[in-house]
């Protein structure tokens, strides 16, 4: 009775899961979005299973059909890994630059946003405000602030 070479098929499934889990699951958190380490761990598990499966396929007494399927499974899993690396690291670099975004050192355009107290705050209001009173003793006269630090948060709220 023939036994199913389950490590090779499980490795193939894990490699497909590692490929498709990045855009649907792991991209939601900064720790796994910025560098897909969780996906690489899944690919490593898949490759270990593939190696075990290929060793089983090429064991003495196995049929030629089992050896062919083992080699095909290993090839497909390797191609999935290479495709993942190409998509995440190479194709992502080919995205067009944002030409309308302010460049480093460029003056920010006028804008008005809502602060945490649900009040509208504009950039011109912030630039015209005097230095806070807790620092007034360091400054002889109250004068408008020279700049505003803009912090852009990337992610989901």
Separation of alpha carbons 78 and 10, rounded Å: 14
- DSSP per-residue codes, 87-107: IIIIGGGGSPP-TTSPPTTSP
Angle between helices 64-85 and 37-57 (to 10 degrees): 170
Choice between 127 and 157, residue whose per-residue pLDDT is larger: 127
pLDDT at position 33: 84
Kindly state the tokens that stand for 22.
């990045």
Q: What is the mean pLDDT of residues 82-93?
A: 88
pLDDT, tens digit, 9 for 90 and up, residues 131-140: 665 555 555 5
Whether the predicted model's global pTM rises above the 0.85 cut? no
| List of E strands, the chain | 112-114, 120-122
Ordered by start, the domain boundaries in the chain are 6-94, 104-145
């Amino acid at each position: 009775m023939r036994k199913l070479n389950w490590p090779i098929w499980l490795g193939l499934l894990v490699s497909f899961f590692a490929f498709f889990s990045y855009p649907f699951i792991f991209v939601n958190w900064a720790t796994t979005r910025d560098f897909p380490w969780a996906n690489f761990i899944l690919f490593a598990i898949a490759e270990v299973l593939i190696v075990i499966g290929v060793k089983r396929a090429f064991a003495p007494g196995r049929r030629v059909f089992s050896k062919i399927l083992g080699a095909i499974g290993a090839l497909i899993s390797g191609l999935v890994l290479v495709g993942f690396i190409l998509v995440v690291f190479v194709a992502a670099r080919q995205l067009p630059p944002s030409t309308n975004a302010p460049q480093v050192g460029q003056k920010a355009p006028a804008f008005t946003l809502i602060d945490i107290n649900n009040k509208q705050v504009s950039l011109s209001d912030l630039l015209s405000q005097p230095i806070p009173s807790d620092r007034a003793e360091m400054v002889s006269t109250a004068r408008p602030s020279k700049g505003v630090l803009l912090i852009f948060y990337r992610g989901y709220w």
